[in-house]
């Protein structure tokens, strides 16, 4: 009788996984971690600014690596794509006060199992911000 119950539970579990019901937790966790990282990066950029686009991209990548290591998130830095672009700027080369930026973080859609066909979608978070403090203000 116990084996019959175990077989029924295994079949129910396989059906739930194939329908994607157990994948919801993984996706929600990844999305919450991505939101938290994007908020921290937006605050970092707002409070620091940058001297130019290339240097800022490197500093943001280093900050994300530290953030993921310190908080032990399940996200992988290598899978994450980061884009910081200025949407409004006074000078096209140097970042300055009141420059507005857009931060976009992408990760591949997390899958629970490799044999479940999932479309090649990405989880994406977009945040807007304004530069508040620059190095020369300190």
> Rounded to an integer, what distance in angstroms lies between the CA atom of residue 57 and that of residue 127?
15
Domain spans, the chain? 25-137
Tens of pLDDT, residue by residue over 25-73, are 777 788 888 899 999 999 998 887 666 778 888 888 999 998 888 888 7
Phi, then psi, of 21 in degrees rounded to 5: -70, -35
> Rounded to an integer, what distance in angstroms lies between the CA atom of residue 115 and that of residue 108?
16
pTM above 0.85, yes or no: no
The strand pairing partners of 104, in sequence order, are 83, 126
Tens of pLDDT, residue by residue over 1-28, are 788 888 888 888 777 766 665 566 777 7
Task: Judge contact between 102 and 89, C-beta under 8 A.
Answer: no
């Amino acid at each position: 009788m116990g084996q019959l119950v175990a077989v029924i539970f295994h079949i129910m579990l396989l059906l739930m996984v194939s329908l994607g019901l157990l994948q919801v937790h993984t996706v929600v966790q990844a999305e919450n971690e991505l939101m938290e990282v994007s908020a921290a990066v937006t605050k970092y950029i707002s409070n620091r600014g940058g001297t130019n686009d290339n240097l800022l991209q490197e500093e943001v990548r280093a900050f994300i690596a530290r953030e993921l290591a310190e908080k032990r998130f399940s996200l992988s830095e290598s899978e994450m794509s980061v884009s910081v672009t200025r949407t409004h700027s006074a000078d096209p080369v140097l970042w300055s006060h009141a420059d507005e930026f857009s931060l976009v973080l992408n990760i591949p859609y997390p899958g629970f199992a490799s044999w479940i066909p999932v479309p090649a979608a990405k989880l994406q978070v977009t945040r807007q911000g304004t530069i508040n403090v620059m190095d020369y203000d300190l």
